[in-house]
Amino acid sequence: MRTVVSSAEMRAAEQAVFARDPEADLMGKAAAAIARIADDVAPDGAVLVVAGAGNNGGDGLFAAALLAERRPVLFWRAFRDAHAAAVAAARAAGCREVDAVGAVAALADCSLVIDAVTGLGSRPGLPLALQTLVDACDAATVPVLSVDLPSGLDADSGALHPSFSAEHTVTFGSVKPCHVQQPAASRCGRVHIVDIGVTVPDTQLRVAEAADVARWWPRPDASSDKYSRGVVLVDTGSEQYQGAAVLSCSGALHAGAGMVRYTGRAASGLILSRFPSVVVGEGRAQAIVLGSGWGDSDGGEGRVALARMHSLPAVVDADALHWLPGGRLDGWLLTPHAGELARLLGCTRAHVEAHPLSCVREAARHTGATVLLKGATQYVAEPSGRVTIAVAGPPWTAQAGSGDVLAGICGALLAAGLPAWRAGVLGASIQAMTAAANPGPYTPDELAARLPAMIAQLSSSPLAR
């Protein structure tokens, strides 16, 4: 699990280092890491360093000085101001200064551009001369290594602004919100996190990693039986949306449920023809999955209220989200997409998309449930305000039916005894990881069928220990 640190939290952590040791050379360590990664990602050829006026530019120019010991380096001060000591170091090391026109012309001969214009102090957007260079970089397909973050982005959000598009980003201490939230994250390329001796604080925002999924994924042992592994009661689908029932049962079974009981209104014969192990009808269960594919079929309110009376953990998806009972929904996992969350909160979808973190937190605080906001970035918010971002996957899973499978997976994890936040994080992560391992337009049911191979691979990997 990685802590996600805001620019203010990172600055405070940096100040704490200087309070202990006023001579701490954080910039020197940052520069050394940038130079090392630059050599790794583009071992030969000239490097162009584009430097801004603040410390981000300082990092880049000290890195320029180190790189100039072994390869040609050019630098452009994008705003006339720049970190004076770093400019002096770059000049002393033999780096050649160019102007805006020279920087664009130099791209033809460069194997790497280091973007050190703005970092934590970045105000969104780019001045025209820089935008011209960014366009030229994109056209010339010269790889960009961004220092801390692609200049132009806002460190503290996932919003898109005119910015560099990095192939690699080197950041310090821990990831910042722009590195882990789409669409900004797609501009960061591969993010290298470098320890420069700043102690990163615990925060209310974290991002899960494959190792967490491997460690926490429930596995049967010699004492397991179908009941102890977890029985999932699935009330999904309807006459109109029969497929949703098949998909949520598929998610639950392929995620390792001990048993799936189907109590929804789709034709049971359809489900049994696909999954003969499903038991049709009520019975004891450890978790319930509600709502996927209900459409406007009757009795939603009563079915959700009944689930509440069972006092079991529940996944509440899609149409069941319209019928949330009053009171604190402890132990429940709500799985809205942005539109459904907007409806829950009484705001617009655009508002949720612009402020996903505050919206998902608000829904969890208000309902007392854990809320998994689905989409390109998947946020799992607990009523306490803590948010965990699931492992990211490719956009191939953006298709009808993925959410139904995910609801089933989360149901199996709740039934196995995981707390709601962990079920949400693991469910969203395993679906994303399976899609990443099987790139292409696989249908949600095909991807669900590939979950067991992914889970087996995780279980046998050293990450699982």
Ligand X SMILES: NC(=O)C1=CN([C@@H]2O[C@H](COP(=O)(O)OP(=O)(O)OC[C@H]3O[C@@H](n4cnc5c(N)ncnc54)[C@H](OP(=O)(O)O)[C@@H]3O)[C@@H](O)[C@H]2O)[C@@H](O)CC1
Ligand Y SMILES: Nc1ncnc2c1ncn2[C@@H]1O[C@H](COP(=O)(O)OP(=O)(O)O)[C@@H](O)[C@H]1O
Tell whether 221 is in a known binding site. Answer: no
Tell whether 148 is in a known binding site. Answer: yes
The structure tokens listed for 115 are: 């973007």
Of the candidate spans 81-89, 108-116, 257-265, 400-408, the one that interacts with ligand Y by CB under 6 A turns out to be 400-408
Of the candidate spans 6-14, 78-86, 390-398, 416-424, the one that interacts with ligand Y by CB under 6 A turns out to be 390-398
Q: Pick one of 64, 374, 414, 422: the residue that binds ligand Y (CB under 6 A).
A: 374
Q: Pick one of 66, 147, 329, 418: the residue that binds K ion (CB under 5 A).
A: 147
Is 84 a binding residue for ligand Y by CB under 6 A? The answer is no
**Alpha-carbon span 378 to 406, nearest angstrom:** 12
Tell whether 413 is in a known binding site. Answer: no
Is 397 a binding residue for ligand Y by CB under 6 A? The answer is yes
Would you tell me which residues interact with ligand X (CB under 6 A)?
10-11, 14, 26-27, 30, 52-57, 59, 118-123, 125, 127, 147-148, 172-173, 196, 198
Residues 6+ apart with CB under 8 A from 460: none
Of the candidate spans 59-67, 99-107, 219-227, 389-397, the one that interacts with ligand Y by CB under 6 A turns out to be 389-397
**Alpha-carbon span 114 to 38, nearest angstrom:** 8
How far, in whole angstroms, is CA 35 from its chain's centroid? 27
Q: Which does 146 bind (CB under 5 to 8 A by kind): ligand X, K ion, ligand Y, none?
A: K ion
Shortest Cβ 175–K ion spacing (Å): 15
Is 61 a binding residue for K ion by CB under 5 A? The answer is no
Is 337 a binding residue for ligand Y by CB under 6 A? The answer is yes
Is 302 a binding residue for ligand Y by CB under 6 A? The answer is no
Alpha-carbon distances of 354 from 27, 158, 162, 430, 446, rounded to whole Å: 33, 9, 16, 26, 32
Tell whether 403 is in a known binding site. Answer: yes
Tell whether 237 is in a known binding site. Answer: no
Tell whether 121 is in a known binding site. Answer: yes
**Alpha-carbon span 72 to 65, nearest angstrom:** 10
Tell whether 337 is in a known binding site. Answer: yes
Tell whether 404 is in a known binding site. Answer: yes
For residues 370 and 382, the answer to whether their CB atoms sit within 8 Å is yes
Q: Which does 127 bind (CB under 5 to 8 A by kind): K ion, ligand X, ligand Y, none?
A: ligand X
Q: What is the contact surface with ligand Y in residues (CB under 6 A)?
A: 318, 337, 374-376, 378, 393, 395, 397-398, 400-404, 406
Binding residues: 55-59, 115, 119-125, 148, 151, 244, 293, 337, 403-404
By CB under 5 A, name the binding residues for K ion. 115, 119, 146-147, 151
Which residues are documented as binding site for K(+)? 56, 115, 151
Instruction: Enumerate the known binding-site residues for (6S)-NADPHX.
Output: 55-59, 119-125, 148, 244, 293, 337, 404
